[in-house]
């Protein structure tokens, strides 16, 4: 009798010690990945899903003994749909983490639900500065528009650009880009005679570009979300803006690697500021690009892919730190302060702001081996979001 009890106790102790075994048999760790898989922002969804799947292929689908399950949901980049999908994922699927978020309005729509349910929300794409302040459960692995825009506003006046017209998409990230570019550029002695805003849905750039032609500034500064850059570039060329002596500058969203190679020679020489180029010369990036392309019929990864890939790392590392247990607050604590080498370069998740700190590169579009690339020529190290009020 005594012996049997002892054996039972020993078995129970062994079970506890190998908690990972018990956890592997328990519910999977669910990541609800909400992305625009169809509609105007579909390239962002495609890039991030491909990157998340690459991360899992490279790192396995078990973390600290816990099986990881990725649940991808299409929100068509309509915030009401994002909200509904997030609700389903939280209530029915009981996801451990929410991730993705192609555009700012989608991230903002779900932030209060993350707070209420204590679910970490990993923003992999959206880039308006204020998103991280919308909930203490938001962690960001993409970038912020102020990070990129300020770098361009410092570079331009040192390179013969004294007057600039800004052209941005009329919502969160565009307004951040306009505000931070303009104020820093004017502080540096530059002039901004006009600020133009185009709608997010079905933009027609032609009338705006005509206006820019008439004003004839040294340069046009552009922010459009990933996926819209090729249309801007095409019309910029068709209207002979470059031949009229107007330079195109902007944040790297306009020379997005997803589309850059098909933009044609009009893109040659365009200078942008951004955190990621597929041409970044580090070994880590070369490996990332090669394996991404191999898994996706030659598709070149863009900055969205890197936001997704790094987001998966942040989730995996946090889960590891909890020994596979998870839990909203424990995961969040494990995400804060992470430091790692990303394909973009060194990355730090600021524990105070939960926002990404990384290098911002100045890049020029050049032809390399017959392909158009954003070739980095200067770097600002460890740039924090200049948009934070706290």
Q: Which is nearer to ligand VNL, 227 or 334 (CB)?
A: 227
Which two tokens mark 57? 């292929």
For position 128 contacting ligand VNL by CB under 6 A, the verdict is: yes
For position 385 contacting ligand VNL by CB under 6 A, the verdict is: no
Interface residues for ligand VNL in 90-119 (CB under 6 A)?
Answer: 102-104
Q: Which is nearer to ligand VNL, 127 or 164 (CB)?
A: 127
Q: Pick the closest to residue 50 from 72, 30, 28, 77 (CA basis).
A: 72
User: Cα–Cα distances in Å, from 167 out to 193, 198, 222, 262, 274?
Assistant: 12, 7, 5, 22, 17
For position 355 contacting ligand VNL by CB under 6 A, the verdict is: no
User: Cα–Cα distances in Å, from 197 out to 70, 166, 203, 211, 228?
Assistant: 37, 8, 10, 12, 14
| Beta-bridge mates of residue 197 | 168
Interface residues for ligand VNL in 165-184 (CB under 6 A)?
Answer: 172-173
Stretch that binds ligand VNL, among 126-134, 148-156, 232-240, 330-338 (CB under 6 A): 126-134
Q: Which is nearer to ligand VNL, 230 or 319 (CB)?
A: 230
For position 152 contacting ligand VNL by CB under 6 A, the verdict is: no
The CA distance from 219 to 156, in Å, is 9
Helices 79-91 and 104-117 cross at an angle (nearest 10°) of 30
Interface residues for ligand VNL in 280-309 (CB under 6 A)?
Answer: none
Q: Which is nearer to ligand VNL, 182 or 325 (CB)?
A: 182
For position 225 contacting ligand VNL by CB under 6 A, the verdict is: yes
Closest residue to ligand VNL: CB criterion: 225
For position 82 contacting ligand VNL by CB under 6 A, the verdict is: no
Distance of closest approach, residue 41 Cβ to ligand VNL, in angstroms: 5
What is the total count of residues that contact ligand VNL (CB under 6 A)?
Answer: 14
Distance of closest approach, residue 274 Cβ to ligand VNL, in angstroms: 10
Q: Pick the closest to residue 358 from 277, 290, 275 (CA basis).
A: 275
Distance of closest approach, residue 91 Cβ to ligand VNL, in angstroms: 26
- Binding ligand VNL (rule: CB under 6 A), the pick from 242, 253, 258, 310 is 253
Q: What's the maximum distance between 2 C-alpha atoms anywhere in the chain?
A: 96
The CA distance from 364 to 377, in Å, is 7
- Binding ligand VNL (rule: CB under 6 A), the pick from 108, 126, 233, 312 is 126
Instruction: Please count the helices (runs of H) and the strands (runs of E) in the chain.
Output: 12, 15
Distance of closest approach, residue 259 Cβ to ligand VNL, in angstroms: 11
- Binding ligand VNL (rule: CB under 6 A), the pick from 31, 41, 185, 230 is 41
The CA distance from 176 to 128, in Å, is 7
Positive/negative CA dihedral, 321, 325, 326, 327: negative
Distance of closest approach, residue 224 Cβ to ligand VNL, in angstroms: 8
* Length of the chain measured in residues: 390
Residue with tokens 């951040």: 176
Distance of closest approach, residue 142 Cβ to ligand VNL, in angstroms: 7
The CA distance from 215 to 372, in Å, is 30
Helices 283-295 and 42-59 cross at an angle (nearest 10°) of 110
Give the binding site for ligand VNL (CB under 6 A).
41, 44, 102-104, 125-128, 172-173, 225-226, 253
């Amino acid at each position: 009798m005594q012996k049997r009890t002892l054996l039972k106790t020993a078995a129970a102790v062994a079970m506890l010690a190998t908690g990972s075994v018990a956890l592997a048999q328990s519910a999977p760790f669910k990541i609800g990945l909400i992305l625009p898989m169809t509609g105007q922002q579909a390239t962002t969804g495609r890039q991030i899903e491909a990157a998340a799947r690459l991360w899992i292929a490279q790192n396995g689908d078990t973390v600290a003994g816990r099986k990881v399950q990725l649940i991808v949901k299409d929100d068509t980049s309509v915030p009401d749909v994002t909200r509904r999908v997030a609700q389903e994922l939280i209530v029915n699927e009981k996801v451990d983490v929410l991730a993705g978020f192609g555009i700012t309005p989608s991230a903002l729509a779900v932030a209060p639900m993350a707070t209420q349910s204590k679910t970490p929300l990993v923003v992999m794409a959206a880039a308006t500065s204020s998103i991280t302040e919308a909930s203490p459960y938001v962690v960001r692995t993409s970038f912020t528009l102020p990070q990129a825009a300020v770098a361009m506003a410092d570079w331009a006046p040192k390179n013969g650009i004294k007057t600039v017209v800004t052209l941005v998409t009329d919502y969160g990230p565009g307004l951040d880009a306009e505000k931070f570019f303009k104020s820093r550029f004017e502080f540096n002695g530059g002039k901004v005679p006009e600020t133009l805003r185009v709608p997010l849905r079905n933009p027609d750039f032609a009338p705006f570009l005509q206006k820019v032609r008439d004003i004839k500034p040294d340069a046009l500064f552009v922010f459009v979300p990933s996926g819209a850059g090729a249309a801007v570039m095409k019309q910029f060329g068709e209207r002979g803006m470059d031949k009229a002596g107007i330079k195109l500058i902007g944040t790297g969203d306009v020379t997005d690697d997803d589309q850059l190679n098909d933009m044609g020679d009009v893109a040659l020489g365009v200078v942008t500021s951004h955190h990621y180029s597929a041409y970044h010369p580090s070994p880590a990036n070369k490996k990332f690009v090669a394996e991404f392309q191999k898994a996706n019929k030659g598709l070149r990864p863009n900055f969205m892919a890197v936001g997704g890939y790094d987001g998966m790392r942040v989730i995996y590392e946090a889960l590891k730190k909890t020994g596979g247990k998870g839990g909203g607050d424990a995961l969040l604590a494990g995400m804060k302060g992470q430091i790692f080498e990303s394909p973009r370069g060194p990355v730090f998740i600021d524990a105070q702001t939960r926002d990404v700190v990384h290098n911002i590169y100045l890049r020029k579009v050049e032809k390399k081996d017959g392909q158009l690339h954003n070739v980095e020529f200067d770097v600002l190290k460890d740039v924090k979001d200049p948009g934070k009020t706290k």
